[in-house]
Amino acid sequence: MAHRADVTAHRGAVLHFRSDPGEHDAPDSYEYWEDGLLLVRDGKVEKVGDWAALSAGLPDPCNVVMHGCKLLLPGFIDPHIHFPQTDVIASGGHNLLDWLEHYTFPAEQRFADTTHAREVASFFLDELLANGTTTAQVLGTVHRGAIEEFFQVAKDRRLRMIAGKVLMDRNSPDDLRDTAAGGELDTRELIEKWHDNDRLHYAITPRFAPTSSADQLASAGRLAQEYPTVLIHSHLAENRDEIAWVRELFPDSQSYLDVYDRFGLLRERATYAHCLHLDAQDRRRMAASGAAAAFCPTSNLYLGSGLFDIAASDAAGLRFALATDVGGGTSFSMLKTMSEGYKVAQMLGQRLSPLRAFYLATLAGARILGLQDRIGHFAPGTEADFIVLDPAATPLLARRSAQALTLSERLLLLLVLGDDRCVSSTYVLGERVTRNS
Ligand SMILES: [Zn+2]
């Protein structure tokens, strides 16, 4: 893209969050300007607010981009997704363990080939950006080379991404296993090379308790202690057969959560996908540790795993954010993910308001990943990763949006009827990186 003045004023409807709106849409939790301004200089947010109040003071020269009635939002943040499962999405499998054995592991075996890994990483990032997701926490495979390819492709695009090589030393095919010592050495070297390298961060990534020996989980805990700013990323309590298996494998543990706790894997910047079948005690214990949950509704419904309990998580003070979990999840779109999350809440007689759903797809992710000082909202000084959503992207959306009176009504329409067709543009550090419209 040609470089003009390094300051650009974006005019449109602007929404971002300052805190969790909770169940009742706390009025000070968000800021919204129907005719707003987002001023971006050198890839960072310089100002945000009302166009009429701020436009007289624009710098000169200044590029101006008019977005009409489209909605400017911080880029979506997906805290749990598997890049090697791009080619598994919408495959069969009756449940988690069956799906892993018959679809996921065979697809992951191909990532021994770094050329394949690079091609998939590139397609995967194109797909994320087309869907308006500018940051994700990404699981790789057991192969060190594959995650190196992912990091390099993300770095070339100047994206803020978190990723990790999967640790898996048992209960998986021969060519998808590392060893406790080998996995620790690879992880250590990957952390040294990639953690805080430009906009990239490393996550220590045991796949889940059943595929790591006690020795391997202990080594992951040691690494977590040695590198306190590194993230931790895994799965927890997704499926009842899985939980029974964990009980057999770790008979001394009080619960599935207790396995991770005993090995020092619960702390701030630790994200556990699913967390469906936890009791109140485990939720409180997890909340107290600072670890957070990734709520993956399309995956939980597709694999029949269960319903994430928003009210119980809130009652325990357990933080969570929305995530796609592709390829158990069925869409790269955080809009479609919000829609399924809304329905999961309905099934439990709970409420997920449209405002809170958008919070869970933006600022909530930044917070659980420890990146809230850089991304996920529009405070001055944050990085200008943002998206432009078109509330009239399809004839039906245009028709219904014309009837919507309130912000909540407009957001509900976007999340229920929207998908990647609504993402007019995705900007990374102030530069437009997609041309969907
Ligand atoms: Zn997953």
Q: Tell me the pLDDT tens digit for each residue of 353-382.
A: 999 999 999 999 999 999 999 999 999 999
User: Residue 435's pLDDT is what?
Assistant: 59
Gap from CA of 303 to ligand 1 centroid (Å): 11
What count of other Cβ atoms lies within 10 Å of the Cβ of residue 60? 6
User: Residue 5's pLDDT is what?
Assistant: 62
Q: Tokens 């129907």: give the residue.
A: 34
Gap from CA of 189 to ligand 1 centroid (Å): 24
pLDDT grade, residue 92 (50/70/90)? Answer: confident
Gap from CA of 273 to ligand 1 centroid (Å): 6
Q: Tell me the pLDDT tens digit for each residue of 208-225.
A: 999 999 999 999 999 999
Gap from CA of 326 to ligand 1 centroid (Å): 7
Residues 437, 432: Cα–Cα separation, whole Å? 12
Spatial neighbors of 161 by CB under 8 A, at least 6 apart, are 135, 136, 138, 150, 151, 154, 199, 200, 201
The answer to pTM > 0.95 is: yes
| Residues 121-145: b if buried by 16+ CB within 10 A, e if exposed | bbebbebbbbbbbbbbbbbbbbbbb
User: Residue 429's pLDDT is what?
Assistant: 98
Q: What is the mean pLDDT of residues 424-436?
A: 90
Gap from CA of 315 to ligand 1 centroid (Å): 25
Gap from CA of 275 to ligand 1 centroid (Å): 11
pLDDT grade, residue 98 (50/70/90)? Answer: confident
pLDDT grade, residue 2 (50/70/90)? Answer: very low
Gap from CA of 82 to ligand 1 centroid (Å): 6
User: Residue 162's pLDDT is what?
Assistant: 98
Gap from CA of 374 to ligand 1 centroid (Å): 25
pLDDT grade, residue 437 (50/70/90)? Answer: very low
Gap from CA of 296 to ligand 1 centroid (Å): 8
Q: Tokens 């269960």: give the residue.
A: 306
Residue 200 three-state SS: strand
Gap from CA of 292 to ligand 1 centroid (Å): 14
What does the block give as tokens for 42? Answer: 């050198």
Classify the C-alpha dihedral 139-120-172-167 as positive or negative.
Answer: negative
Q: Tell me the pLDDT tens digit for each residue of 43-54.
A: 999 999 999 999
Mean pLDDT computed over every residue of the chain: 96
Gap from CA of 325 to ligand 1 centroid (Å): 5
Spatial neighbors of 352 by CB under 8 A, at least 6 apart, are 310, 341, 342, 344, 345, 360
Q: What is the mean pLDDT of residues 235-260?
A: 97
With contact defined as beta carbons under 8 Å apart, do 338 and 360 qualify?
A: yes
Gap from CA of 23 to ligand 1 centroid (Å): 27
Gap from CA of 80 to ligand 1 centroid (Å): 6
Residues 86, 103: Cα–Cα separation, whole Å? 12
Gap from CA of 213 to ligand 1 centroid (Å): 19
Q: Which long-range contacts (CB under 8 A, 24 or more apart) does 63-67 make?
A: 63/4, 63/5, 63/7, 63/8, 63/9, 64/8, 64/9, 64/11, 65/8, 65/9, 65/10, 65/11, 66/11, 66/12, 67/10, 67/11, 67/12, 67/13, 67/388, 67/424
Gap from CA of 426 to ligand 1 centroid (Å): 25
What does the block give as tokens for 236? Answer: 């927890």
Residues 135, 169: Cα–Cα separation, whole Å? 29
Higher pLDDT, 102 or 285: 285
What count of other Cβ atoms lies within 10 Å of the Cβ of residue 24? 11
Segment holding 156, helix H or strand E: helix 144-156
Residue 22 three-state SS: coil
Gap from CA of 157 to ligand 1 centroid (Å): 24
Q: What is the mean pLDDT of residues 265-290?
A: 98
Residues 283, 292: Cα–Cα separation, whole Å? 10
Gap from CA of 409 to ligand 1 centroid (Å): 31
Spatial neighbors of 30 by CB under 8 A, at least 6 apart, are 15, 16, 17, 18, 21, 355, 359
Gap from CA of 163 to ligand 1 centroid (Å): 13
pLDDT grade, residue 67 (50/70/90)? Answer: very high
User: Residue 199's pLDDT is what?
Assistant: 98
Gap from CA of 70 to ligand 1 centroid (Å): 32
Gap from CA of 206 to ligand 1 centroid (Å): 11
φ/ψ (deg, to 5) at 326: -55, 135
φ/ψ (deg, to 5) at 332: -80, -10
